[in-house]
Amino acid sequence: MLSLLQKISHSIGYLKYPALLLAAISTALILTLLIRPSFINDQGLLFPAIVILIWSILLLFFPAVYKDMPDFSDKPDGILLKVKYYFYRLIYYLFALFFIGLSLALVLLTIKMITLSFM
C-alpha cells in the first residue's frame, strides 16, 4: 500500500502549484465573505470555497509526505533498529489511513455540496 501511495504522490506532484493557487484564491474568497458579507451578496459561495480549500491543502500535503518515503524492503538486524523500522512503517500507515479517510470524506462532502447546489 505504501509503494502505491508513493507512486501516486509522484504522479500528482505537478499539481503543487495549481493547488497552491486554488488555496490562495479560496482563502481570499473565504476571508472576503467573512469580513465583508455585503461585498458578495451570495453566501452560497462560502461552502464551496471551504471545500476547495480543503481539497487544495490535501493536494499540497499528500505529495510532500509520500514523495521521499524511505525504502522498507529490507529489515534491519538489531532490536532497536527493528523497533525504529516498525515505528516508521506505523507512522506512514497512519498517515496513509488519514489521507485515505480524508479523501473519502471530501468526496462525500463534495457530492453533498453538488446535490445541495442543484436543489
Compute mean pLDDT per 10 residues along the chain, 119 residues long, and list them. 77 85 92 77 75 88 76 75 84 86 89 79
CB of 90 closer than 8 Å to CB of 96: no
Cβ partners under 8 Å of residue 13, min gap 6: 63, 67
What pTM value is reported for the model? 0.73
Judged by DSSP in three states, 89 sits in helix
Domain count, the chain: 1
Rounded Cα distance between 115 and 45, Å, is: 15
Predicted local confidence at residue 39, as pLDDT: 64
Cell of 83: 523497533
Contact 93, 1 (CB under 8 A): yes
Question: What is the structure's pLDDT at 25?
Answer: 93
Q: Which domain holds residue 97?
A: 2-117
